[in-house]
Homo-oligomer: A and B are copies of this chain.
């Protein structure tokens, strides 16, 4: 099934690294509230990137990450100061990779491997370095270079331009249903890493393959 695939393109947040691994630091700073902070933070971060895209009010994802954290702490009635924000942002540059990721990337190293993320380089590059994933990738692609967030067609087009391949030669991996839908709509082959055992998004854009973790993509070796 791998005959036409030249590049494996991975989403980062939620796909290679666990965005909810900030819970620990949240719990340290806001006793026992880590889970609810982490969930709302992530939800507002997505919402703000989508809204800014639609309004034509682009901001780098690092600013959106801080803005959504501020909103979350206010909404959940936690007092905070700038030190808290900086500590949590730092934790966001040190998210943990899922346990199977390195082993899978190692076995796929004969292909062209790349990431595409909504994260701006000031948060994405430290994360990829800190997580030990950097040696595996030929390209680290940030949509901040063109200021168009996923899931716009422009964002996926940019990855094609960087990689120098055709859209049908790309296998795209994400754990995010919205990202898989966007990539499928654009014309990538898609593998949904369905880590939370969720239903398929009701968008008439079904993924090519569904796996419970990244080990599933080994069948594309």
Interface residues of A (CB under 8 A from B): 47-48, 50-57, 67-68, 70-71, 74-75, 149, 151-153, 178, 181-182, 185-186, 198-199, 201-203, 205
Contact = CB atoms under 8 A, between A and B. Distances in A.
Contacts of A48: 201-203
**Nearest 10 CB-CB pairs, A to B?**
A67-B202, A74-B199, A71-B202, A50-B50, A55-B185, A70-B202, A54-B152, A55-B182, A51-B178, A55-B151
A198 B76 CA distance: 10
A153 B67 contact: no
Contacts of A50: 47, 50-51, 54
28 contacts: A47-B50, A47-B178, A48-B202, A50-B51, A50-B54, A51-B178, A51-B181, A51-B182, A51-B203, A53-B54, A54-B149, A54-B151, A54-B182, A55-B152, A55-B153, A55-B181, A55-B182, A55-B186, A56-B153, A56-B185, A57-B185, A57-B203, A57-B205, A70-B202, A71-B199, A71-B202, A74-B199, A75-B198
Contacts of A186: 55
A150 to B, nearest CB: 8
A202 B65 CA distance: 10
Nearest to A57: B185
A205 B203 CA distance: 31
A124 B74 CA distance: 34
Given A75-B198, A75-B199, A54 B54 contact: yes
A75, A182, A202, A205, most chain B CB atoms within 10 A? A202
A7 to B, nearest CB: 21
Nearest to A50: B50
A89 B172 CA distance: 35
A203 B67 CA distance: 7
A20 B149 CA distance: 31
Contacts of A178: 47, 51
Contacts of A70: 202
A75 B198 CA distance: 6
A20 to B, nearest CB: 18
A107 to B, nearest CB: 32
